[in-house]
Amino acid sequence: MARKKQIIIPIAILAIGALAFVGFSSMKKPPEEKAPVDKTPIVAVENISVAPMTLEVSSYGIVKPKYETTIVAQVSGEIVELSDAFVRGGLIKKDQLLARIDPNDYHAALIDAQANMASARAALEKEVAQGKVAEQEWKQITDTSPTELSLRKPQLAQELARVKSAQAAILRAKRNLQRTEIRAPYDAMINSRKIGLGSFVGVGSEIGMLLGTDIAEVRLPVADNQLQFLLDQGAQAKVKLIGTYSGEEIQWQAEIARSEGVIDSDSRMSYLVAEIKDPYHLQENTKINEHPLRFGSYVQAKILGVDVAQASIVPRYLVVNNSVAILDNESKLHFAKINILREQGGNVIVSDGLMDGDKLIVSALDYPVAGMKLTLASDEAEELEDKSTQENVDTQVVSIENKGA
């Protein structure tokens, strides 16, 4: 009996263990099946815009007046009068009096010249009369011919020369008297004044400097290879000048007036000269709210060039061997061959090879192969959002069922 127990007990233990293993195995959940992983590369794209374009050539420069004049004294004397507008920054009109040199000596010189003129005219009239008397006397003599001297023609010529000399002296005295008044040759701004009231000036002494306010100029350096993008090498081209006024960015309109026609030996640049009419808006037809373009201002310039019928702008880093990556309608990679018209900063201007609405791939691909399948980043985001929304809905349904139970 004891032997049977020794046999039955181990067998019972093994049977119980087997039953327990089977029970626990039936309680274990089967491993979840993992969803297949989509290894399609995800890319970001930008839509290509193809439209007419006007090319621009960038430049820069300093605004300067077209005319600068250093005024010097043409007669000597004491400054006896100064205009209130004759100060640095003052605006003056053409023929406006700036300063006056003491005219008394020049008035006296004019009176003296006029007196000499009267004396010379009297002498001339006297000599004309004497010549007529001599001619009548020689007419009474028939056996000989009169000489030039006997008819007093040399004396007449001498007196006539004295009259002309007196006329020249009067003109010179009048001119010197006019030069005692220093007037502006054109509408201008006073850049500097070198004299004061009571100071003495000599012939050639500097009075001041004027800056013409009718027209301003900007010399614009342009690289030689950029001239090809301008019509007629930039002649009469419109220019947008961009600068600051009172901390605000302002734009002015200008026009290319001429080319200097040479390449600068230092910068190796060609220079185009842009003109701006009435930069200080002093004329009557100027808009009141226009900002003046001050002399000495630094400005950026955009010179309008040739018109391109169809063009698009592409970041330069996306161009490899004159090709760009495009996502076609089947979501596959396609390399489009492009014609680069010009490089402009970090971009290139493409004139051919792209169509309006093309999807330009702007994200990097590790191993790009033409025809490979791609996924848009926006589509991936929408799919994840839809999946998240569905999971939230399923969770809410389970919660409602549990509450109902």
Over residues 360-384, the pLDDT tens digits come to 888 888 888 888 888 877 654 444 4
pLDDT of 34 reads 62
Scanning the structure block, which residue is given the tokens 């007990």?
9
pLDDT of 149 reads 67
Query: Over the chain, what is the mean pLDDT?
Result: 83
Phi, psi angle pair for 202, to nearest 5°: -110, 175
Q: What would the two tokens of residue 196 be?
A: 């004061």
The span from the CA of 196 to the CA of 198, in Å, is: 6
The span from the CA of 226 to the CA of 345, in Å, is: 13
Residue 59 pairs with which residues in a beta bridge? 301
Over range 336-343, report the average pLDDT: 89
Long-range own/partner contacts, residues 46-49 (CB < 8 A, 24 or more apart) = 46/359, 46/360, 46/362, 47/357, 47/358, 47/359, 47/360, 48/312, 48/314, 48/354, 48/355, 48/356, 48/357, 48/358, 48/359, 48/360, 49/312, 49/313, 49/356
pLDDT of 398 reads 44
The span from the CA of 70 to the CA of 191, in Å, is: 10
pLDDT of 394 reads 52
pLDDT at 401 > cutoff 60: no
Most confident option among 127-141, 154-168, 265-279? 265-279
The span from the CA of 48 to the CA of 313, in Å, is: 8
The span from the CA of 61 to the CA of 186, in Å, is: 25
pLDDT of 353 reads 86
pLDDT of 287 reads 54
Share of the chain above pLDDT 70, in %: 78
Over range 278-288, report the average pLDDT: 76
Top pLDDT among 380 and 96 is at 96
- In this prediction, residue 239 has a pLDDT band, given cuts at 50, 70 and 90, of very high
- In this prediction, residue 31 has a pLDDT band, given cuts at 50, 70 and 90, of low
pLDDT at 296 > cutoff 60: yes
DSSP 29: P
Over range 19-24, report the average pLDDT: 66
Top pLDDT among 103 and 3 is at 103
87 CB-near residues (< 8 Å, 6+ apart): 190, 193
- Rg over alpha carbons for the chain, rounded to the nearest Å, is 49
The span from the CA of 242 to the CA of 224, in Å, is: 23
pLDDT at 388 > cutoff 60: no
pLDDT at 75 > cutoff 80: yes
Name the 3-class secondary structure at 392: helix
Q: In this structure, are residues 209 and 192 in contact, taking their beta carbons and an 8 Å threshold?
A: yes
Over range 45-71, report the average pLDDT: 92
pLDDT at 251 > cutoff 90: yes
- In this prediction, residue 333 has a pLDDT band, given cuts at 50, 70 and 90, of confident
